[in-house]
Amino acid sequence: MSSERTREPAPPVNVWVPVVALGWLIPGGGHFFLKRYGRAGLLAFAITGMYLFGLMMRGYLFQPLRGPDLLSTLMNYGGFVGNICAGLLYLLTVWLGYSQPEVPGHVHDYGAKFLVTAGLLNILAIVDAYEIAAGRKS
Q: What is the pLDDT of residues 98-122, one digit of tens each?
A: 888 778 889 999 999 999 999 999 9
Does position 2 have pLDDT exceeding 60, yes or no?
Answer: no
For 40-109, give the DSSP string: HHHHHHHHHHHHHHHHHTTPPPP-----SSHHHHHHHHHHHHHHHTTTHHHHHHHHTT-------SHHHH
Give the residue extent of every domain in the chain. 27-133
* Per-residue model confidence (pLDDT) at position 17: 93
pTM: 0.86
DSSP 120: H
Cα(16)–Cα(36) distance, rounded to whole angstroms?
15
**pLDDT at 4 > cutoff 70:** no
Pick from 138, 128, 133, 134: nearest CA to 28: 128
